[in-house]
């Protein structure tokens, strides 16, 4: 019996459970994500993605499962971004961060706990994502973005969740050279911004950060500010990967929680 026929036999009300998909993956020697894609190809939804429907079509969910996203920075923004993308069903995540968790990260960084202090952020995030969605392939890179050109060259999209200007500009240049869309995010206090730069379009990062040598003081970052920016970044990734209309390349959205003010420019 083919795996598709087995899926049809097991499916209940047009869905297949994680338990049954896992059994089929083991029986047929397939990755779990491949079983999920074959189910979606005959319009049977893996239960874990059912609430993505009908916002996403089965074909669009398959596109996500076949996508590779680089998340540069696994702290306040990056941890939430990685978690949301895993729950959405992004097939491959490459998490890049050279740092280890510190006690001061506890107020906002999703995967920072008392037990993970001192551990590499990317490795902890990768392990936790495996618990959230075992169908997602996750690679942790405990290094700076400057040394991850090969990963960026393989990506469908790159997400900037970094905390310093030189690395942001380097990441933008590498994404540009690789022809990969870049989704930028930054947060400070009760304000944040996102921006999108598509391949071959107007550059945005050099306009946002005209002085790479500017000295930065660590900003205040409450967890809810980081969560808001991360959610907006994930929404743009979702739109780009599924072919929807994204934020115009070269523009940005700036918002302030105090006044609940959104400004696009």
Mean pLDDT of 45-55: 95
Q: Is residue 76 part of a domain?
A: yes
Q: Do 17 and 113 sit in the same domain of this protein?
A: no
* Distance (Å, whole) CA 89 – CA 152: 20
Quote the domain boundaries for residue 20. 3-50
Q: Is residue 62 part of a domain?
A: no
Q: Is residue 185 part of a domain?
A: yes
Q: Do 213 and 122 sit in the same domain of this protein?
A: yes
State residue 260's pLDDT score: 77
Q: Do 27 and 102 sit in the same domain of this protein?
A: no
CA dist 131 → 87, 102, 125, 126 (Å): 11, 23, 10, 9
State residue 215's pLDDT score: 64
State residue 130's pLDDT score: 96
Closest to 94 (Cα-Cα) out of 53, 142, 134, 52: 142
Q: Do 24 and 153 sit in the same domain of this protein?
A: no
Burial level of 223, CB count in 10 A (0-12/13-18/19+)? middle
What are the pLDDT digits (tens) for 204-252? Answer: 888 888 877 666 677 788 899 999 999 999 999 999 999 988 888 877 8
Mean pLDDT of 57-68: 97
State residue 7's pLDDT score: 95
Report the CATH number at residue 223: 3.40.50.720
State residue 261's pLDDT score: 76
State residue 214's pLDDT score: 66
How many domains, the chain? 2
Mean pLDDT of 162-189: 94
* Distance (Å, whole) CA 147 – CA 184: 19
State residue 228's pLDDT score: 92
Q: Is residue 112 part of a domain?
A: yes
Q: Is 233 within 8 Å of 88 (Cβ atoms)?
A: no
Angle between helices 3-10 and 32-41 (to 10 degrees): 70
Q: Is residue 171 part of a domain?
A: yes
pLDDT at 262 over 80: no
Q: Do 33 and 138 sit in the same domain of this protein?
A: no
Q: Do 8 and 113 sit in the same domain of this protein?
A: no
pLDDT at 175 over 80: yes
- The per-residue pLDDT of the chain, averaged, comes to 93
Q: In sequence order, what are the beta bridge partners of 186? A: 193
């Amino acid at each position: 019996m083919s795996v598709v026929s087995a899926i049809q036999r097991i499916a209940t009300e047009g869905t297949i459970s994680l338990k049954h998909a896992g059994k089929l993956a083991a029986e047929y020697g397939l990755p779990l994500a491949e079983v999920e894609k074959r189910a979606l190809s005959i319009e049977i939804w893996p239960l874990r993605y059912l609430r993505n429907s009908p916002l996403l079509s089965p074909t669009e969910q398959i596109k996500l499962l076949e996508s590779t996203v680089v998340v540069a920075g696994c702290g306040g923004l990056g941890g939430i971004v990685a978690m949301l993308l895993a729950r959405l069903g992004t097939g491959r995540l490459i998490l890049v961060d050279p740092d280890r968790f510190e006690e001061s990260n506890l107020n906002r960084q999703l995967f920072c706990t008392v037990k993970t202090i001192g551990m590499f952020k990317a490795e902890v995030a990768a392990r936790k994502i495996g618990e959230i969605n075992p169908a997602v392939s996750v690679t942790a890179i405990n290094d700076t973005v400057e040394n991850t050109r090969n990963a960026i060259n393989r990506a469908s999209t790159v997400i900037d969740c970094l905390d310093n200007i030189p690395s942001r500009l380097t990441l933008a240049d590498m994404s540009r050279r690789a022809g990969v869309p870049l989704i930028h995010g930054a947060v400070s206090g009760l304000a944040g911004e996102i921006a999108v730069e598509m391949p071959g379009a107007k550059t945005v990062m050099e306009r946002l950060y005209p002085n790479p040598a500017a000295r930065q003081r660590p900003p205040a970052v409450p967890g809810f500010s980081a969560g808001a920016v991360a959610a907006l970044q994930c929404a743009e990734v979702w739109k780009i990967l599924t072919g929807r209309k994204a934020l115009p390349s070269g523009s940005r959205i700036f918002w302030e929680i105090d006044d609940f003010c959104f400004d696009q420019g």
